[in-house]
Protein backbone atom coordinates (compact mmCIF):
# COMPACT_ATOMS: atom_id res chain seq x y z
CA UNK A 1 0.00 0.00 0.00
CA UNK A 2 1.34 3.43 -0.95
CA UNK A 3 0.99 6.18 1.65
CA UNK A 4 0.90 9.83 0.58
CA UNK A 5 1.74 12.95 2.55
CA UNK A 6 1.20 16.50 1.31
CA UNK A 7 3.03 19.47 2.78
CA UNK A 8 1.23 22.75 2.05
CA UNK A 9 2.92 26.15 2.17
CA UNK A 10 1.16 29.53 2.43
CA UNK A 11 3.92 31.10 0.36
CA UNK A 12 5.88 29.44 -2.43
CA UNK A 13 7.45 26.08 -1.60
CA UNK A 14 11.12 25.97 -0.79
CA UNK A 15 13.04 24.12 -3.47
CA UNK A 16 13.42 20.42 -2.87
CA UNK A 17 17.19 20.89 -2.95
CA UNK A 18 16.90 23.49 -0.15
CA UNK A 19 14.95 20.97 1.93
CA UNK A 20 17.49 18.20 1.26
CA UNK A 21 20.38 20.53 2.14
CA UNK A 22 18.63 21.49 5.39
CA UNK A 23 17.97 17.81 6.15
CA UNK A 24 21.64 16.96 5.68
CA UNK A 25 22.75 19.88 7.87
CA UNK A 26 20.24 19.56 10.70
CA UNK A 27 19.71 15.83 11.23
CA UNK A 28 21.65 12.60 11.48
CA UNK A 29 20.02 11.37 8.26
CA UNK A 30 22.19 11.76 5.16
CA UNK A 31 20.13 11.94 1.99
CA UNK A 32 20.53 12.36 -1.74
CA UNK A 33 17.83 13.54 -4.16
CA UNK A 34 17.68 12.11 -7.68
CA UNK A 35 15.93 14.90 -9.57
CA UNK A 36 15.27 12.90 -12.73
CA UNK A 37 13.51 10.13 -10.75
CA UNK A 38 11.96 12.25 -7.95
CA UNK A 39 13.58 9.93 -5.39
CA UNK A 40 14.95 10.85 -1.98
CA UNK A 41 17.40 8.20 -0.77
CA UNK A 42 18.82 7.63 2.70
CA UNK A 43 22.56 7.23 2.04
CA UNK A 44 22.97 5.08 5.16
CA UNK A 45 20.18 2.66 4.15
CA UNK A 46 19.47 2.61 0.42
CA UNK A 47 16.27 0.61 1.04
CA UNK A 48 14.92 3.75 2.76
CA UNK A 49 13.60 5.59 -0.31
CA UNK A 50 10.62 7.83 -0.95
CA UNK A 51 9.18 9.79 -3.84
CA UNK A 52 9.34 13.54 -3.33
CA UNK A 53 8.11 16.15 -5.80
CA UNK A 54 6.60 19.61 -5.99
CA UNK A 55 2.96 19.71 -7.07
CA UNK A 56 1.93 23.24 -8.00
CA UNK A 57 3.58 26.22 -6.33
CA UNK A 58 2.43 25.61 -2.74
CA UNK A 59 2.61 21.83 -2.25
CA UNK A 60 5.30 19.19 -1.88
CA UNK A 61 4.12 15.57 -2.12
CA UNK A 62 5.82 12.54 -0.58
CA UNK A 63 4.87 8.93 -1.29
CA UNK A 64 6.23 5.77 0.28
CA UNK A 65 5.12 2.14 0.25
CA UNK A 66 6.13 1.35 3.82
CA UNK A 67 5.80 4.04 6.46
CA UNK A 68 8.63 2.66 8.64
CA UNK A 69 11.55 4.90 7.82
CA UNK A 70 14.21 7.17 9.27
CA UNK A 71 14.07 9.38 6.20
CA UNK A 72 10.33 10.12 6.21
CA UNK A 73 9.99 11.70 9.67
CA UNK A 74 13.25 13.59 9.16
CA UNK A 75 12.19 15.24 5.88
CA UNK A 76 8.66 15.92 7.18
CA UNK A 77 10.20 17.64 10.20
CA UNK A 78 12.42 19.78 7.96
CA UNK A 79 9.52 20.77 5.70
CA UNK A 80 7.40 21.66 8.74
CA UNK A 81 10.22 23.82 10.13
CA UNK A 82 10.37 25.53 6.74
CA UNK A 83 6.73 26.59 7.18
CA UNK A 84 4.82 23.66 5.74
CA UNK A 85 1.70 22.03 7.13
CA UNK A 86 1.62 18.25 6.70
CA UNK A 87 -1.45 16.20 5.87
CA UNK A 88 -1.30 12.45 5.46
CA UNK A 89 -1.03 9.19 7.38
CA UNK A 90 1.45 10.52 9.98
CA UNK A 91 0.21 14.06 10.48
- Does residue 33 register a pLDDT over 80? yes
φ, ψ of residue 19 to 5 degrees: the values are -65, -40
Question: If you average pLDDT over residues 23-30, what whole number do you get?
Answer: 96
Q: Which residues pair with 31 in a beta bridge?
A: 42
Residue 53 to residue 89: CA distance in whole angstroms: 17
Contact predicate 45/82, CB 8 Å = no
Give per-residue pLDDT as tens, 34-75: 999 999 999 999 899 999 999 989 999 999 987 678 999 999
Given 3-state DSSP classes, what are the helix, strand and coil percentages for the chain, each rounded to the nearest 5?
25, 35, 45
Other C-beta atoms within 10 Å of 56: how many?
9
The residue among 49, 44, 77 whose CA lies nearest residue 63 is: 49
Q: How many domains does the chain fold into? A: 1
Domain membership of residue 67 as a residue range: 3-87
pLDDT attached to residue 45: 93
Give 5's pLDDT tier (boundaries 50, 70, 90): very high
Higher pLDDT, 20 or 88: 20
Higher pLDDT, 31 or 2: 31
Amino acid sequence: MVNTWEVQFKELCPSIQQAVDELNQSSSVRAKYLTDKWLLINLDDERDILNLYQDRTHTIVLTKEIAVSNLLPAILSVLTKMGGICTGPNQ
